[in-house]
Amino acid sequence: MTSFVKETTNLLSRTPALLRTLLIGLPEAWTDTPDTAEGWRPRDVVGHLITGEQTDWMVRTRRILEHGTSLAFVRFERFAMLERDAGVPLDQLVERFAELREANMTALRDLVTDADLDRRGLHPSLGEVTLRELLTTWAVHDLDHISQIYAGLAGSHDADVGPWKAYLGILLRREDPSAVAG
Amino acid sequence: MTSFVKETTNLLSRTPALLRTLLIGLPEAWTDTPDTAEGWRPRDVVGHLITGEQTDWMVRTRRILEHGTSLAFVRFERFAMLERDAGVPLDQLVERFAELREANMTALRDLVTDADLDRRGLHPSLGEVTLRELLTTWAVHDLDHISQIYAGLAGSHDADVGPWKAYLGILLRREDPSAVAG
């Protein structure tokens, strides 16, 4: 029998190695550009992921297990990293994230089994949610934000691809989200 | 002095390890969904990247060095993988890609220096392009298609995030490219 918790943890556990492989030691020529004009650089994304490990995912998991729907989650601080991480090198942010994620994976394995997945909590805006939805969102949130890192990396070299830009959706979408590559 | 070729190779050389870290052994529950309704599953994307290593990037690099603009590039077979890779397991496709990319990185290092970057070739649709543009496009093409893998992975769990979907741009954009997450 497959385990939903194990399959979700399988993906979540890959993110530290993935960010190390992608970002540690990568030249700044690649890493210093946001995904869109008003967007986030790779370092901002990693900072946002750090906030999630510190204050969101496992904190909410514990709240569901301890309080169910009787105590709503605290709102996610979506911009906490901008001040907190100023001046910290990207490589160091990646390692900070990796430590936090690895500790959270250990905690998750100790606390949650598939039998808990239908337990419910209370989101301050979205209302009732299940632990299954929380854990899946944790994983998809990783995927969403790592894609944002990719868009920033690509954007750093927007000026260097010449006429090929017409074929590169990742560049076209930075300027027009509905653009379709040729 | 920074070297453009070295900085580009730095990113290109990471893709084999990156795809291994992301995909090898990942449960099929995550890997069997295309990025959009008419899109590609992760295995199709890896297959497309294999085609690039076999028939595009280094072949075009050599053609620029040997023939300049006197002999146009051969068109990229964008769907070659669909028949060629039928039945080959995803893990095996990742390893096939990794071998080809690693060999191409060795060849690139032996063949090209920054002094060659302004040399020109002829693209069958786009006209004259430089070797700098070709190499940058190779790297950004990786980023573009790895993002597509991320969208497929996320899409596999679209039904499991519940009301959080409203916050997850990577899911919303699979259905409406201009969607903005809440």
At which residue do the structure tokens 């990396």 appear? A153
Q: How far apart are CA B162 and CA B180, in angstroms?
A: 17
With bands split at pLDDT 50, 70 and 90, how would you rate the model's confidence at B1?
Answer: low
CA dihedral A156, A162, A163, A166 (to 10 degrees): 0
Per residue in A18-59, pLDDT (tens digit) is: 999 999 999 999 999 999 999 999 999 999 999 999 999 999
With bands split at pLDDT 50, 70 and 90, how would you rate the model's confidence at A174?
Answer: very high
In this structure, of A23-27, A164-168, B44-48, B83-87, the range with the lowest mean pLDDT score is B83-87
Residue B158's φ and ψ, nearest 5 degrees, are -50, -40
Q: How far is A64 from chain B (nearest CA, A)?
A: 16
Q: How far apart are CA A16 and CA A12, in angstroms?
A: 8
With bands split at pLDDT 50, 70 and 90, how would you rate the model's confidence at A178?
Answer: confident
3-state secondary structure chain B: CCCHHHHHHHHHCCHHHHHHHHHCCCCHHHHCCCCCCCCCCHHHHHHHHHHHHHHHHHHHHHHHHHHHHHCCCCCCCCCHHHHHCCCCCHHHHHHHHHHHHHHHHHHHHHHCCHHHCCCEEEECCCEEEEHHHHHHHHHHHHHHHHHHHHHHHHHCCHHHCHHHHHHCHHHHHHHCCCCCCC
Facing residue for A171 by CB, picked from B30, B140, B153: B140
Facing residue for B178 by CB, picked from A162, A171, A178: A178
pLDDT at B5: 97
| pLDDT at residue A70 is higher than 80 | yes
Per residue in B119-131, pLDDT (tens digit) is: 999 999 999 999 9
Per residue in B163-178, pLDDT (tens digit) is: 999 999 999 999 998 8
Contact A167, A181 (CB under 8 A): yes
Contact B4, B114 (CB under 8 A): yes
Q: How far is B173 from chain A (nearest CA, A)?
A: 9
Q: Do the Cβ atoms of A143 and B173 come within 8 Å? A: no
Q: Do the Cβ atoms of A18 and B22 come within 8 Å? A: yes
Chain B residues 19-58 within an 8 A CB cutoff of chain A: 21-22, 25-27, 29-30
pLDDT at A82: 86
Q: Which residues in chain B have Cβ-Cβ distances shorter than 8 Å to A181?
A: 144
pLDDT at B175: 94
Nearest to B125, CA basis, from B64, B76, B55: B76
**ipTM score:** 0.96
pLDDT at B2: 80
Question: Any chain B CB within 8 A of the CB of A72?
Answer: no
Q: How many residues does chain A have?
A: 182
Per residue in A76-133, pLDDT (tens digit) is: 888 888 899 999 999 999 999 999 999 999 999 999 999 999 999 999 999 999 999 9
Nearest to A69, CA basis, from A128, A125, A114, A126: A128
Question: Any chain A CB within 8 A of the CB of B72?
Answer: no
Six-digit token string for A142: 């990783």
Contact B5, B135 (CB under 8 A): yes
With bands split at pLDDT 50, 70 and 90, how would you rate the model's confidence at A2?
Answer: confident
| pLDDT at residue A1 is higher than 80 | no
Pairing label, strands A127-130, A120-123: antiparallel
Q: Which residues in chain A have Cβ-Cβ distances shorter than 8 Å to B2?
A: 27, 29
Facing residue for A129 by CB, picked from B123, B130, B163: B163
Q: Do the Cβ atoms of B146 and A151 come within 8 Å? A: no
With bands split at pLDDT 50, 70 and 90, how would you rate the model's confidence at A181?
Answer: confident
Q: How far apart are CA B105 and CA B16, in angstroms?
A: 11
Through-space distance between the first and last CA atoms of chain B, rounded to whole angstroms? 44
Determine which of A4, A13, A21 to mutate to test the interface with B (most B C-beta atoms within 10 Å).
A21
| pLDDT at residue B60 is higher than 70 | yes
Whole-number average pLDDT of chain B: 96
